Structure 1
Amino acid sequence: MANPINRYLLNSPMLPQSKRDADSGLNLLIQNEPPGKDKVSNWLPAPKGQFMMAMRLY
């Protein structure tokens, strides 16, 4: 799969560059299509169709 931003994970060191909502919430976008220039910092490219995602939450 082509990964236009060469990103394969989202982790805590990336949080300072992530864009927050007006209420300080954080939306992580895991999708195939780019979300728009203002939301790319929160985007993890995903393949088309089904895929498996693993999350580690501490």
Structure 2
Amino acid sequence: MADAPDLPCCSNESDVADTSLLGVRGYRGYWVGQGAPWGQPSARPADWDLLTQIPAEWR
């Protein structure tokens, strides 16, 4: 949805543009390459860990 709020973690909302695994991995790679910054840092749980959230096969 065009008016859907962004996710607090990566500031991205999955939509119809995510038509391929390559596209999703490309965005995720860009996000991680930037240091995986949260769009809303105050929403990040204290024990959040990128490596446990994204399984190896999805990195």
The TM tier, using the shorter chain, reads under 0.3
Give TM-score scaled by structure 1 length. Answer: 0.27
Instruction: Select the structure that is richer in helix.
Output: 2
Higher strand share: 1
TM-score normalised by structure 2 residue count: 0.27
- Greater length-normalized contact order (CA 8 Å, ≥ 6 residues apart): 2
